[in-house]
Amino acid sequence: MKNQEKELKIQISKEVDNQKDEIFKTIQKLIRIPSVTGDEGEAQEFIFKLYLSLGLDVKKLIPKKEELIQHQAYVETGLPYNESRPNIIGILPGVGNGRSLILNGHIDVVPPDPIETWDEDGPWSGKIIGNRLYGRGAADMKSGLIANFFALKTILNLNLQPKGKIILESVIEEEAGGSEGTLALFLAGYKADLMITPEPFELKVITAHPGINYFRVTVLGKTAHAAQSHKGINAIGKLSKIYERLTKLDKERAKRNRYEFFEKLTGRSCNLNIGTFHAGNWASTVAGSATLEARISYLPYETEEGIKKEVRNAIDEVVSKDSWLKEHPPIIEWYGWRALPWVQDHNAFGVKQFLKTASEVLSQKVDVAACTCGLDARFGSYFGVPSLVFGPKGGLLHSSNEYVELDSVIKTIKVLATFIVNWCKVS
């Protein structure tokens, strides 16, 4: 690294360190604004004002369903499209002759229920204990969203002017598929030479994720009064057999599909999770119906048709051994979240440049891995925008007492700020 570059790296590091208190307080403020998917408006207003404070050209974008549904990656969520759920875009035009960059992040979080499983301060506290900041969205991904902001703020605080355009994006609905968020922004023309999303992946560069589908299985039983329950057919018991078989299928698939690149983070390449189970409507009535909803992932060498067939075959196996289910076959519906496998070429110029920068800033080799969840980064492939994910360390995502490690947030900001200089160039 040249002397001038080394000096600039030192200046960036010092400036980020000088802002630590402000960074942590800003994350706390954002966490204290609940923004469960479908109710992101108040938090987006906070982001809107934050972007304005940098002097950016700030815009609100309300997605248009009639445009989104034409795209192959669109996922129907049933959520409203209106002014209470805008995407927020902050644009720094750049002074010319530099590469452009999107720093993308999602404002929405998953529900914190059951609340009683959190510690006494609850899911919206933003409390700090040692190196950890707690709250729903602390890791996934309000800290990353704020890291984007402070990376750019650091550059501007040093009176540096990026030559390439920089676009800060705070999007809605990532947790439900991302159609009204990142996909909507791409369709509206917000593109760049590279997109980075600081999701919480242990300061590793993520360049792939599996295919993902949601499905629903409904079984009908025969209702009867509880006093004559022997005359009914309880749908709970019938669906429980299917639950057990799908759980077995999950283990079978995990054993069969061993892919080191996808196992680096969690030790598993793919998963089948049963997330909901609803049945009956009255304690004194034999349950006449039962429904489970599940999420299955699959690897790039598999096909969507193939995993659907596996699910169908597993359920058919249960049906073949049950006379009631033979006469009343389960209903299988594929709905909601649907993402094809995403694999970003590691040799893409932007990815290689980012890996070089991150390794230099962190003074260690930065690893490349795949994750086993779905990411908005996948949308870049539809629009010719190379994309990668790099963000802080955290834990208990989508669980009680979610947290982010604060020192890793600082490291993320330093990497992002330095990369802005290296990628976009500055004057």
Both structure tokens of 250:
């999950």
Q: What is the pLDDT of residue 258?
A: 87
Fold of 211-339: Alpha-Beta Plaits (3.30.70)
Both structure tokens of 180:
């009204």
Q: What is the pLDDT of residue 1?
A: 52
Both structure tokens of 370:
């795949």
Q: What is the pLDDT of residue 353?
A: 97
Domain 3-208+341-424 has CATH 3.40.630.10: yes
- Pick out the chain residues at pLDDT < 50: none
Q: What is the pLDDT of residue 259?
A: 87
Instruction: Determine the Cα–Cα distance for residues 23 and 417; give it in Å rounded to an integer.
Output: 14
- Radius of gyration from C-alpha coordinates of the chain: 23
Q: What is the pLDDT of residue 16?
A: 98
> 370 to each of 30, 132, 205, 278, how far by Cα in Å?
28, 25, 8, 33
Q: Is 376 helix (H, G, I), strand (E, B) or coil?
A: helix
CB atoms within 10 A of CB 360: 17
Length of the chain equals 427
CB-based burial, 396-418: b 16+ in 10 Å, e otherwise: ebeebbbbbbbebbbbbbbbbbb
Dihedral sign computed on CA atoms, order 243, 249, 276, 113: positive
Q: To 5 degrees, how large is the angle CA 220–CA 177–CA 137?
A: 105
Q: What residues does each domain of the chain span?
A: 3-208+341-424, 211-339
Q: What is the pLDDT of residue 216?
A: 98
